[in-house]
Amino acid sequence: MSASKLLPLAACVTAALLLASCSSKRAPQPAVVPGPSAGISGPDDFNRPHKDGAPWWDVDVSKIQDAIPMPHYGPVKASPYVVFGKQYYPIQDARRYQAVGPASWYGTKFHGQATANGETYDLYGMTAAHKTLPLPSYVRVTNLENDKVVILRVNDRGPFYSDRIIDLSFAAAKKLGFAEKGTARVKVEGIDPHEWWAQQGRPVPLVLANNQPAKAAVAQPVAQPVEHYSPPPTQHAAAVVPVQIDAKKNDLLAVSGLFLQVGAFANPDAAELLKSKLSQTSSVPVFISSVVRDQQILHRVRMGPISNQGEAEQLQSSVRLANLGQPTLVRAD
């Protein structure tokens, strides 16, 4: 290679080294929110599984940065909405929000799908789903069992089952140390982006001009339409991990005899939901019998015991008419 060609190459290398040496001194950069056509983590030929769970491709989550709180000047998604007949009233401001309770996570079944505010869910993104926080907003989540902390962008709705207060991305649960366990007791705190940047000793970075408020206008209250949203029963399931089943509890419920099995779920919340609906439509006892199959917990929703074939057929017909499933006759195990 001639000397004339080496000089430009050396200049490029020097410039690259200078940029690299400055990168550690730069202020945190706003996280890029993936759009519907943006690339997300994982294989190009990703096939969504029928059951939710952990990814089969590995990413070092220690290298994934927390979400960076940025002021949001546009409209937020905070309209009242209905899920399974229950109405939810989102709050308009997340900055002073605080709550303590169980958290879960959701993964491969929803990877690449649209979140409640139209962004693309990436299980390796630092995001979360919440029932009443405005979308988008930012929260600090602390695992009270090990004091690990993450900052997340709330861009989705859920969880709608049991007493969980927030659903995290797989990456967030992994960084908090409970991805394998499935759930953890956490503290959730809303973040004021301006205060957060002040604590870093830096001004809030400039945002795109079309995101800045043109004038300091006083927000006028407007009537919010009620949205109707029906997530699938398996949405936002906790991680499924092999654990010891309480055999004594199952033995007490599943006495000898015949039963109708209406459903079987990896998600315990989905099983509880079906159990609740069945209990409202029939006086026959409804219970959940859990077993470990193929290294996963299966929560079976059953009705009975049933004394004879005629009773079984009558009960099967009533369950079908209520659109609650296709029950099958089984024996106790």
pLDDT tens for each residue of 114-158:
888 888 899 999 999 999 999 999 999 999 999 999 999 999 998
98-106 vs 184-190, strand pairing mode: antiparallel
Amino acid at 49: P
The pTM of this model reads 0.55
Listed in order, strand segments (DSSP E) in 84-136 are 86-88, 98-106, 127-129
CATH code, domain carrying 278: 3.30.70.1070
**DSSP conformation class of 121:** P
User: Looking at the structure, do residues 291 and 188 belong to the same domain, yes or no?
Assistant: no
Residue 207 pLDDT greater than 60, yes or no: no
Q: What is the pLDDT of residues 52-91, one digit of tens each?
A: 777 877 788 889 999 999 988 888 888 888 877 778 889 9
DSSP reduced 3-state for 167: strand
Tokens coding 329: 């006759």
- Identify whether residues 164 and 76 lie together within a single domain: yes
136 in Cβ contact with 72 (< 8 Å): yes
For residue 187, is it within any domain?
A: yes
pLDDT of residue 49: 64
Asked if residue 242 is part of any domain, the answer here is: no
| Pair 147, 70 in one domain | yes
**Torsion 77-80-82-87 (CA) sign:** positive
> Is residue 9 domain-resident?
no
Q: Indicate the number of domains in the chain.
A: 2
Share of the chain above pLDDT 90, in %: 25
Domain that holds residue 79: 61-200
CATH code, 90: 2.40.40.10
Q: At 288, which helix (H) or strand (E)? A: strand 286-293
Asked whether residue 130 is domain-assigned, the answer is: yes
Q: Which of 156, 182, 200 is the last residue of a domain?
A: 200
Residues 89 and 194 in one domain: yes
Q: Is residue 170 part of a domain?
A: yes
Of 149, 155, 192, 189, residue with least CA distance to 172: 149
Query: Which DSSP letter does residue 211 get?
Result: G
186 falls within a domain: yes
